[in-house]
Amino acid sequence: MNKTLDVPERKLPAASEVLLEVKDVKKYFPITKGLLNRTVGQVKAVDGVNLSIRQGETFGLVGESGCGKSTFGRVLLRLQSATGGEVLFNGKDIHSLGSREMRKLREEMQIIFQDPFGSLNPRFLVKDIIGEPLRIHRKMSAKETDARVVELMELVGLDASRRNRYPHEFSGGQRQRIGIARAIALNPKFIVADEAVSALDVSVQSQVINLLMKLQKELGLTFLFIAHGLNVVRHISDRVGVMYLGKLVEVAETEELFAAPLHPYTAALLSAIPKPSPRRKQERIMLEGDVPSPANPPSGCRFHTRCPFVQDTCRQTEPLLKEAVPGRQVACHFPLLPKS
Ligand SMILES: Nc1ncnc2c1ncn2[C@@H]1O[C@H](COP(=O)(O)OP(=O)(O)OP(=O)(O)O)[C@@H](O)[C@H]1O
Ligand SMILES: [Mg+2]
């Protein structure tokens, strides 16, 4: 167990119903040039992702900066349009819903951001920040809103008597709790936590992770938990997806992924986590070169320019995400199969 994060181990929920099904989702941003804004290329931020997120699970999404994690999260919530593909939430394609249906669905899907200060309006009192969705969506009276704000603040471990204060009067961890209280105000089913603990100190990180795990259990939430590094997602995630240049390269149950990564990129990310014992020799896989541009991804396997095991096929043919070992999906021509 990683010593840096003090959180209890979790039990996998049974592989039950699928809450969210993502089919070949793409999001391209045009690159424009000149006075006429001519489109000269496209940033392929998300480029064909297939994934099912189960009811009640936490799915961890990791990958280097710029690989498309936040864009993917936003497309899942329709905070951004998709260039292609489908996002089925409880069987309904959310990108083809009318505005009325979408407004209803918005209550069920929420997001928590990385920067708890930037995402909270500094001119609003905490009670108004948490209470705003209740007034807008539920048309609650001032009295009803106040009672619910008190309840929510207590649920996330904040002193409700401080609700008449401004966000800057709270610490970073407390501000993240305010963001969480706001996100759960309307009893959502699905929450995207985009780097929700990345800006916090390690000790505060584990408190917030513990809070999210507690809320998940009590409220039956489903999470997409986005982070750069594997060590943060380990303790909270049931399954983990590893993203590279707009694509998923590996999906596995958390402990299996940590025990034996199948994709060389996952192995490299894992080897970058410091081991708790200095006596255990660390074999770090150093990745050569920079992350290529998502506007011009490499041919064949996108990872081939940095892969220590590259072969000719990798430069020519794109590997698809498929089951290499039962229950384990990997997009690699030569996965690091466990020795039997
Ligand atoms: N609105 C936008 N317009 C143009 N390009 C964008 C836009 N949003 C994101 N991108 C580009 O899409 C790619 C993916 O960005 P994204 O923010 O999703 O990555 P990320 O994995 O969340 O990175 P980080 O870990 O730094 O948060 C990047 O190349 C980024 O520059
Ligand atoms: Mg991001």
Closest protein CA for atom 18 of ligand 1: 68
Q: Quick one: pLDDT at residue 116?
A: 64
Cβ proximity of 292 and 302 under 8 Å: yes
Q: End-to-end alpha-carbon separation of the chain, Å? A: 25
- pLDDT beyond 80 at 2: no
Please indicate whether residue 206, judged by its CB atom, sits closer than 6 Å to ligand 1: no
Please indicate whether residue 178, judged by its CB atom, sits closer than 6 Å to ligand 1: no
2, burial (CB in 10 Å: exposed 0-12, middle 13-18, buried 19+)? middle
Strand order in the sheet with 84-89: 38-54, 18-33, 84-89, 92-93
Q: For residue range 81-104, what is the model confidence (pLDDT) as tens digits?
A: 999 999 999 999 999 999 999 999
Closest protein CA for atom 17 of ligand 1: 70
Please indicate whether residue 68, judged by its CB atom, sits closer than 6 Å to ligand 1: yes
Please indicate whether residue 264, judged by its CB atom, sits closer than 6 Å to ligand 1: no
The residue behind tokens 């750069």 is 228
Closest protein CA for atom 1 of ligand 1: 29
Q: For residue range 54-86, what is the model confidence (pLDDT) as tens digits?
A: 999 999 999 999 999 999 999 999 999 999 999
Closest protein CA for atom 31 of ligand 1: 66
Amino acid in the structure at residue 183: A
Task: Measure the CA angle with vertex 331, ends 191 and 57; round to 5°.
Answer: 25
Residue 141 Cα to ligand 1 middle (Å): 39
Please indicate whether residue 172, judged by its CB atom, sits closer than 6 Å to ligand 1: no
Please indicate whether residue 268, judged by its CB atom, sits closer than 6 Å to ligand 1: no
Closest atom, ligand 1, to C-alpha of 295: 29
Residue 144 Cα to ligand 1 middle (Å): 40
Please indicate whether residue 65, judged by its CB atom, sits closer than 6 Å to ligand 1: yes
Cβ proximity of 3 and 276 under 8 Å: yes
Q: Quick one: pLDDT at residue 139?
A: 87
The Cα–Cα gap between 117 and 115 comes to 5
Q: Quick one: pLDDT at residue 5?
A: 61
| Prediction pTM value | 0.91
Q: For residue range 168-190, what is the model confidence (pLDDT) as tens digits?
A: 999 989 999 999 999 999 999 99
Q: For residue range 265-296, what is the model confidence (pLDDT) as tens digits?
A: 999 999 877 666 555 555 667 777 778 999 99
Mean pLDDT of the chain: 90
Q: For residue range 126-141, what is the model confidence (pLDDT) as tens digits?
A: 999 999 999 988 888 9
Closest protein CA for atom 27 of ligand 1: 65
**Backbone angles phi and psi of 205, in degrees to 5:** -55, -50
Q: For residue range 213-233, what is the model confidence (pLDDT) as tens digits?
A: 999 999 999 999 999 889 889
